[in-house]
Amino acid sequence: MRLLIISGHEAWIHQLGALGAELHLLDGLPGRESRAWDSHLRPFPAGARLVTLDEVRFGAASYDCIVAHGMRDLVETRSVDAPRLLVLHDMLASGMGRAPSAAEPREMRTLLNGALVSVGGHAVAVSRAKARSWGVTHLVLQDSVAPDDYLPHVGDVACGVRVASRVAERREALAWDFHEGALGGLPLRIVGDNPGMAGAAPADDWHHLKRILASHRFAVHTADPRLEDGHDLALLEAMAAGLPVLTNRHPTTIVEHGVSGFVAGTPGEMRAHAERLLGDEALARRLGENARAYVARHHSPSRFRAEFRQAVTEARKKWARRRGTVAR
């Protein structure tokens, strides 16, 4: 299988290395926040190489599917004759930065459906909540992690860790007021690109991130249910690395209270749980082992491979139907 993948979303794309496919990463598209693959976030996935749009347009390669991340990607690759799979990474409302009015979701869903029909594309979301927000009822393409890719957890640094970027523009979605109310003044490391945030810095590369996760005591995830999921790929990676999780109460959380971490209804509750983990390394280790076992069961690369191939099959069917319609 040969895939053309629009670059960006490096952590998500890195999962595609588990497919055993030939991956062409389309880099350098204009007007993007980043026009080049960011190797600080992830190395190239297995089987990948960079290509330009001109190479794709005028080269001899054919593709089993194009993997896009937004409606703009569908437009910019219209000249490429191949099926299209649109992966929805965000809740519909999160792009607005607020809870939408009653009419706005309908308008956005209509726009999405029109874009998909125009190119014969197929859309999948990375979670059930994101699928519902966009009105996409097809297969959910859940993120995957391989615990063996991470270092054994030590947790000797009595400090929490949260992996999050662009916090200033995502405060509401990330329930940052809850986060600050719960953890302000406690030892906590923020890993991510957050200009102006004191003490926050991205990891040097994926290997550095894995060392950070291996050494810290617990991970943190907070989110507003209207705007964001109760879990994301960063959280899954922390669990795969053997960290217990502190999270706010959320309908889509994957954290089991007292088993793989603690679910807090108030900032005060989260703070108490954090202080407990900071003082009890053995408890953190036990909960972290359960977190690691959870993602190994429910978010395995083998499951991702099966779901992805099913999604590509559906995309190819829709593409074939559109070509038949256009031909007539």
Our CA dihedral for 34, 304, 60, 122, rounded to 10 degrees, sits at -80
Task: Domain 2-142+301-327: state its class.
Answer: alpha beta
What DSSP letter does each residue of 66-116 carry, written as one string?
EEESSHHHHHHTTTS-S-EEEEE-S-GGGGGTSPPPSHHHHHHHHHHHHHH
Q: pLDDT, tens digit, for every residue of 239-284?
A: 999 999 999 999 999 999 999 999 999 999 999 999 999 999 999 9
Q: Which residue has the tokens 């496919």?
A: 21
**Res 313 pLDDT > 60:** yes
Q: Which residue has the tokens 């992830």?
A: 42
Q: Which two tokens stand for residue 321?
A: 């139907």
Strand-by-strand arrangement of the 157-163 sheet:
188-191, 157-163, 216-221, 245-248, 261-264
- Residues facing residue 163 across a β-bridge: 191
**Res 56 pLDDT > 50:** yes
pLDDT at position 96 is 54
Give the residue-averaged pLDDT of 5-15.
92
- Determine the Cα–Cα distance for residues 123 and 85; give it in Å rounded to an integer: 6
pTM above 0.95, yes or no: no
Q: How confident is the model at residue 203 (pLDDT cuts 50, 70, 90)?
A: very high
Q: Which two tokens stand for residue 318?
A: 């829709």
**Res 327 pLDDT > 50:** no
Q: pLDDT, tens digit, for every residue of 284-305?
A: 999 999 999 999 999 999 999 9
| Residues, the chain | 328
Higher pLDDT, 176 or 36: 176
- Determine the Cα–Cα distance for residues 298 and 249; give it in Å rounded to an integer: 21
Closest CA to 246 of 186, 302, 316, 204: 186
- Determine the Cα–Cα distance for residues 5 and 120; give it in Å rounded to an integer: 17
Angle formed at CA 106 by CA 104 and CA 107, multiple of 5 degrees: 65
Burial 137-146 (b: 16+ CB within 10 A, else e): eebbbbbbbb
Q: How confident is the model at residue 205 (pLDDT cuts 50, 70, 90)?
A: very high
Q: For residue 251, how many other CB atoms are within 10 A of its CB?
A: 8
Domain positions in the chain are: 2-142+301-327, 147-298
Q: Which residue has the tokens 């209509």?
A: 110
CA 143 remoteness from chain centre: 7
Which residues contact residue 65 at a Cβ distance below 8 angstroms, ignoring those fewer than 6 apart?
Answer: 1, 3, 4, 82, 83, 84, 85, 312, 315, 316
Give the residue-averaged pLDDT of 104-133.
88
Task: Domain 147-298: state its class.
Answer: alpha beta
- Determine the Cα–Cα distance for residues 70 and 87; give it in Å rounded to an integer: 7
pLDDT at position 328 is 37
Q: Which amino acid is at 302?
A: S
Per-chain mean pLDDT for the chain: 91
Using the Cα atoms of residue 225, residue 229, residue 231 and residue 235 in order, give the sign of their dihedral: negative
- Determine the Cα–Cα distance for residues 165 and 245; give it in Å rounded to an integer: 18
Whether the CB-CB separation of 273 and 182 falls below 8 Å is answered with no
Whether the CB-CB separation of 95 and 130 falls below 8 Å is answered with no
pLDDT at position 102 is 53
**Res 138 pLDDT > 80:** no
